[in-house]
A = this chain, B = another copy of it.
Amino acid sequence: MGQPILNQMVDEQHQLRHTKPMSDPLDITFAALSDPTRRAILAMLLEDDMAVTDVAEPFKMSLAAISKHLTILSRAGLISQEKRGRVKWCKLEPSALKDASVWMQGFGQFEAINLDAFETFLKSELSQ
């Protein structure tokens, strides 16, 4: 039975005690999400896959800066990048959000959104 989420948390704490420099994937995920530019990029990619230059266009910062942000999102698994020709296409990878989402579910009276039911819902939607 049990609460795998809780166990995971305890493990995480235990890891800390031993000063493992090994960074939890959740570190990277949440850190990636903590920047508003990166969240905006994710929102843009929700609509469509985009080239790096096109991603950068709405922002007033340099292309290199956006390129770095994309690298961070990519390392967090939140997007994937595929080079076709000289253009690198960026694609949202929403499944990476799942672990973080599941972790958060551990804290909530707002388990309002039951993930199993959620997935069932998605499947039924997609099969139409």
Interfacial residues, chain A to chain B (CB-CB below 8 A): 6, 9-10, 12-13, 15-17, 19, 23-24, 26-27, 29-31, 33-37, 39-40, 42-44, 46-47, 58-60, 92, 94-95, 97-98, 100-101, 103-114, 117-118, 121-122, 125-126
Kindly list 17 other residue pairs between chains A and B, CB separation below 8 angstroms, not including A26-B39, A101-B108.
A9-B40, A9-B43, A12-B39, A12-B40, A16-B40, A16-B60, A17-B60, A27-B35, A30-B30, A34-B34, A46-B106, A92-B107, A94-B110, A101-B104, A108-B122, A109-B122, A114-B125
Q: Among the listed B9, B24, B46, B126, which residue makes an inter-chain contact with A46, where contact means beta carbons less than 8 Å apart? A: B9
Q: Are A39 and B101 in contact (CB under 8 A)?
A: no
Contact A24 B36 (CB under 8 A): yes
A selection of 9 A-B contacts at a CB cut-off of 8 Å is A12-B39, A13-B43, A17-B60, A24-B39, A26-B36, A97-B104, A98-B108, A101-B101, A101-B104
Complex Cα gap A5–B118 (Å): 17
Quick check: A30 and B33 within 8 Å, CB to CB? yes
CB pair B112 A43 closer than 8 Å = no
Chain B minimum-CB-distance residue to A15: B36
A110 B126 Cβ-Cβ under 8 A: yes
